[in-house]
Amino acid sequence: MPQRKKSASNDGPELEDETWLGARLTLPAPLDGDGGHEQPDMLIWAQEDGEVLGTRPIPRHGGGLDVVADHLRATMDKPGRGPSRKPRRVTVSCPSIAHSIRTAFPDIEVICAPTPQLDRMLEAINKRMLAGEEQEPSYLRVATPIAVQSFFGAAAAFYQAKPWEVLPSNRAALGVHCGALYLQEAVVSVLGQGGPLRGMLLFSHCDHFDDYLSAAVEVAQGGPYRVPPHGSLLFERGADLPLELRKEVIRHGWEVADAHAYPWPEFVDANLAHRGASEDELVTLEAILRAITLLIKKPEMVRGAFMTGGASFLETFTVRTSRGPMAVTLYAPHETEDLPRVENPLAALAALADVGDPDKRLPLEDQLIEELSEAPEGKRVKDPVLPCQVLMDLAAGSHGVTIAHLGPTELEDTVFNVVPRNIVAPPSMADPLLRAWRALYRYLGRAYGHPQADACLKVLGRNARKRLEAAFAAQAAR
C-alpha cells in the first residue's frame, strides 16, 4: 500500500492525500421503528473502500444542509477509523452538499460525481430490511434449536440472579477473556441499575467500550450518532415481541424467567447496521451470561472492585454451553493487564494431577492455542483454534491425558477413531484439521521443546489425509 502524504493545514487536522465519499441517504424505514413518524435522512462519510467514518441523522425537509460542514469537521476530528485527519478530496453526488463543503473548506478539492460505493451500501441495507419484512421473525433463523435453548437457559439464570443489584452502574464494566471465543480484553457492561432496561452490552475490546461512553456524551450534546461495533442482550416484555416469536418460545419450551424477561440478542456492525446474532455470537453471549451468574455469587468481592481503593479481582469459571465447556475469565477493573497466563503452559498441563478438572485444564489449553494463533506456525493455517480445541478435548476425554502427555499411539487413535466417531464432518474437513494439528505440534516442538512433537508429526504426515477422509466417509455411511 502506498504511504499517504501529509501536508500542513491551518484548519484542524492535517491534510491527508486521500479521498472521502459523502452522501445524504434516505433510509428505507424509520430509525425508531415507528411507521407513524417520518424518518430523518442519514448523512454519511466513508473511505473509498466503503469503510464508514461517520454518520448522523439530519432532517429530511429543511435545515439539513446546515449541519453538513459541522458534521464533516466532527468526523475529521474523530473518524470511525484511523487518526484525526482532513481528506484532500471529497466526492459527493449532491451539488448542494458539494457547495456547502467548498464554502467551509476551501483547501479541500470537492468532486461532484456519483458515489456507487455508498449506493451499494444503501442497496444492501434495503435488501436486509426488505428480507426482514418478508420473513417471519424467528430465533432459529441463524441458530439451531439446541443453541437457542441453551442460550435461553443462560439468559433466564442471569435474569434471576439480578446482577444489576451487585454491579453499581453500567460503567462498572467487567473485562472478559476466553480463548475459545476469541475474546481478549473484551468488556461487558450490565444494564438495569437505574431503570427498566435490563441486559448487557458486549464490546470485543476495551477501546470500543471507552468509545461507546464518549459517543453517548456526544449524542447527548447534539453531536453525531457514532457508536463502535458491539453486541447486546436486552430483556423485553413478552407483550412487546411479535406474536410469532412468543409462539416459537412456547412451542419449543424455551426457559423464560418471567413475562418481562424475553431475551433479545442484537449486534451493531461497523457500518451501524443492526442485525440479529449469529449462532457463534449466541454461544458467546451464553458463555458470558453463565460466567457473570457465577461471579455475582461473590457480591462483596465484586462491589469492592469498584470502590475507591478497592481490590481488583480476576476469576475464571468453566461454564457449559451448547458447544461444550468453556473457560471464561472475568476481571475488574476492565483496564487490568493481569490476565491469567503462566510462563510454560505445556509444563503446567504436564503437571496437572486431575486432567478431568476443566477449571484447571481449559485455561492452560486456551493459552497454548492463543499462543499458536499468534505464532508463525499458526498464521500459516486458517483458523487453528477449533481444530486444536477438538483434539485436546477428545484426547482428555478418551485417553485421560493432556496434549503434554499425548503420545503418538494415543494421538493415532484419537485422530483416526475418536474424532470421526464424535464429529460429523465431510471428508474434505480432513485436510484443514490435519494442517492445524501439524501447526500445533510444530509450535510445541519449537517453543517448548515438546519431546514427542516429532513422533506425533509423523502420525499426522504420510497418508494421514487419506486415512482421515476414509474414516469420515465411513462414519457418514453408517
pLDDT in tens, 431-440: 999 999 999 9
Strand partners, 334: none
3-state secondary structure at position 425:
coil
| CB neighbours of residue 5 within 10 Å | 10
Whether the upstream peptide bond of residue 333 has omega within 30° of 0, thus cis, is yes
Domain ranges of the chain: 6-133, 141-332, 345-477
CA within 13 Å, CB half, 215: 20
pLDDT mean across residues, the chain: 82
pLDDT tier for residue 8 given thresholds of 50, 70 and 90? very low
Contact predicate 115/124, CB 8 Å:
no
Distance CA 347, CA 359 (A): 17
Amino acid at the residue 237: R
For residue 408 the three cell numbers come to 503418538
Mean pLDDT, rounded, for 73-82:
78
180, 282, 328, 428 from 321: Cα distances, Å: 12, 10, 11, 27
Tell me the pairing of strands 86-92 and 109-112: parallel
* Whole-prediction pTM: 0.56
- Quote the distance between the C-alpha of residue 24 and its chain's center: 29
Distance CA 317, CA 178 (A): 10
Sign of torsion, CA 413 417 423 425?
positive
For residue 458, give the H/E element and its range.
helix 453-459
Mean pLDDT, rounded, for 180-186:
80
Cα-flanking dihedrals φ and ψ of residue 361, to 5°?
-80, -50
pLDDT at 279: 87
pLDDT in tens, 155-175: 999 999 999 999 988 888 999
Distance CA 193, CA 169 (A): 6
The vertex-374 CA angle with 424 and 404, nearest 5°, equals 65
pLDDT in tens, 99-111: 888 888 899 999 9
Distance CA 306, CA 452 (A): 47
Please state which CATH number belongs to domain 6-133: 3.30.420
- Quote the distance between the C-alpha of residue 11 and its chain's center: 37
Mean pLDDT, rounded, for 198-214:
88
More confident residue, 458 or 16: 458
For residue 91 the three cell numbers come to 466526492
